[in-house]
């Protein structure tokens, strides 16, 4: 491989990584707003109070959604 070809491949890979990061951030922000809208409690206030179970639930929602979005982007 020549250097310009290798550089082009790195730039393409960086572009896809940036696209994935932006779409993940956008999707997770929408998810958290929807999750806060459909639940009857304020999750962030509960976490600030030290409610570990609420933090675990919110982390599970974020990780689960991130896995689905990440695997969708890979195909």
**Which band of pLDDT confidence, cut at 50, 70 and 90, is reported for residue 56?**
very high
pLDDT in tens, 1-46: 688 899 999 999 999 889 888 988 888 899 999 999 999 999 999 9
Q: Where are the domains of the chain?
A: 3-74
What pTM value is reported for the model?
0.68
Torsion angle (degrees, nearest 10) of CA 33, 28, 51, 47: -70
**Which band of pLDDT confidence, cut at 50, 70 and 90, is reported for residue 75?**
low
**Which band of pLDDT confidence, cut at 50, 70 and 90, is reported for residue 69?**
confident
CA 41-45-46 angle, to 5 degrees, is 70
- The whole-number pLDDT of residue 3 equals 80
């Amino acid at each position: 491989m020549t250097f310009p070809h290798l550089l082009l491949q790195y730039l393409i890979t960086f572009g896809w990584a940036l696209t994935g990061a932006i779409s993940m951030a956008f999707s997770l922000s929408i998810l958290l707003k929807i999750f806060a809208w459909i639940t009857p409690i304020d999750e962030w206030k509960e976490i600030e109070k030290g409610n570990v179970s609420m933090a675990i639930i919110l982390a599970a929602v974020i990780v689960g959604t991130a896995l689905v979005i990440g695997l969708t982007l890979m195909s």
